[in-house]
A and B are shown apart, each in its own frame.
Chain A
Amino acid sequence: MIDNIVDITLLSLLAIHAIAIIRTRSLFAVVMLFSGFSFLSAGLFIVMDAADVAFTEAAVGAGISTILMLATLALTYTPKSEKEETLPIHKPWLPLGVVFITGALLIYGTWDIPAFGDPDAPAQKHVAPYYLEKSLFDTGVPNVVTAVLASYRGFDTLGEVTVIFTAGIAVLLLIGGRRKRKPLTKTTEGSHET
């Protein structure tokens, strides 16, 4: 019972955060709200028994993502816009309609999902019991998530490391050097060499 109450509270706080991010116009406040959102979701992961995932989400979402967004805010600052988002000129009826239809279809789709926390759900029956029983015997590593990530599905992790290496190279290619002009003048020609 107390588990359900903690779940509902955290999820409601997350929903309030998300709606506040939509309505806030100051970009600095949006980035700070996003950092709080990420940290709250890490707490939610802990309540749902996912320790590794909570660790990674707290470190990466509330740490690295926030720092990079703040750096982008500092680099895209112009004195006339004053770090605020301009009000959109179109009426939001079409996006609201699309969002409502998509949400209604998704909720209709979750009608048949087994209840939250059901130990007899089909997701718990196929491969997971094999990993839980055999991982200590096969690999000698008590942490099942590390054993699956590094040994049973090691090839996927190789692909993931390559993806993050490629992202580092791409960021270096895009903004690796220093600027050649003063940062606050408006430049209207096409992209020039760094």
Chain B
Amino acid sequence: MKHNLILKVVSKFLIPLIFLFALYVQFHGDFGPGGGFQAGVIFSAAIILYALVFGVDMAKQVITPYILRLLASFGVLIYAGTGVATLLLGGKYLEYGVLGSSQVAGQHLGILVIELGVGITVMAVMLIMFFAFAERGQPEEDDEGNQ
């Protein structure tokens, strides 16, 4: 369709920039506004934009629902696992001070790791919800790949 051309060209230009901005917000959440939640939502917004312009099937090839389910659990695992790691290193649960050489270094490392976990889970869950809503209206195919 001819009037889709502007959308396709502009979104091909914008989507990498949105990814970059999401990574910036994730890792600079310590020094400015931002953090795990915002970064996860912006990351998923980039893939939703891709799905809206190019079709849900092509977006599912970019990131399959199986990987999304794995990523969602992986993020929670990172978060809870950091707590268990501090338990094994001798401190209390989620006491980040024992993770590094000094109290401040350990806190910085701990905050970075758990924000990463939060970002991964939020991104995966938003995409799971979007794909579930978008796929419900399609009648069931005869030869479908997953499940």
Listed in ascending order, the chain A residues whose CB lies under 8 Å from chain B are 51-52, 54-56, 59-60, 63-64, 67-68, 71-72, 74-75, 138-143, 145-147, 149-151, 154-155, 157-158, 161-162, 164-165, 167-168, 171-172, 175-183
Contacts and interface: CB of A to CB of B under 8 A. Distances in A.
Nearest to B114: A150
A161 B118 contact: yes
Contact of B137 (A161, A162, A183): A183
B69 to A, nearest CB: 8
A60 B117 CA distance: 18
B34 interface: yes
Sorting the interface of chain B by its residue count into under 10, 10 to 19, 20 to 34 or 35 or more gives 35 or more
B131 to A, nearest CB: 9
Contacts of B94: 154-155, 158
B57 interface: no
Q: Sorted from nearest, which 7 A-B pairs have the closest CB atoms?
A: A168-B125, A51-B33, A71-B133, A140-B104, A139-B107, A59-B41, A178-B140
30 contacts: A52-B35, A54-B33, A59-B42, A63-B45, A68-B133, A72-B133, A75-B133, A75-B137, A140-B105, A140-B107, A141-B108, A141-B111, A143-B29, A143-B35, A147-B111, A150-B35, A150-B110, A150-B115, A154-B94, A157-B79, A158-B94, A161-B79, A161-B122, A162-B76, A165-B73, A165-B76, A178-B136, A178-B141, A179-B138, A180-B140
Given A150-B110, A151-B110, 13 more contacts: A56-B41, A67-B48, A140-B107, A141-B31, A143-B30, A143-B35, A145-B35, A164-B125, A165-B73, A168-B124, A175-B136, A179-B140, A180-B139
Contacts of A165: 72-73, 75-76, 121, 125
Nearest to A155: B94
Nearest to A154: B94
B129 A171 contact: yes
Identify whether the interface residues of A are mostly helix, strand, loop, or mixed.
helix
B72 to A, nearest CB: 6
Contacts of A157: 79, 114, 118
A59 B37 CA distance: 10
Nearest to B42: A59
B6 to A, nearest CB: 21
Contact of A142 (B31, B41, B44, B75): B31
A168 B128 contact: yes
B122 A164 contact: yes
Nearest to A46: B33
A59 B18 CA distance: 13
Interface string B46-77: 00100000000000000000000100110110
A155 B80 CA distance: 10
A165 B37 CA distance: 13
Contact of B72 (A55, A149, A168, A175): A168
Contacts of B83: 158
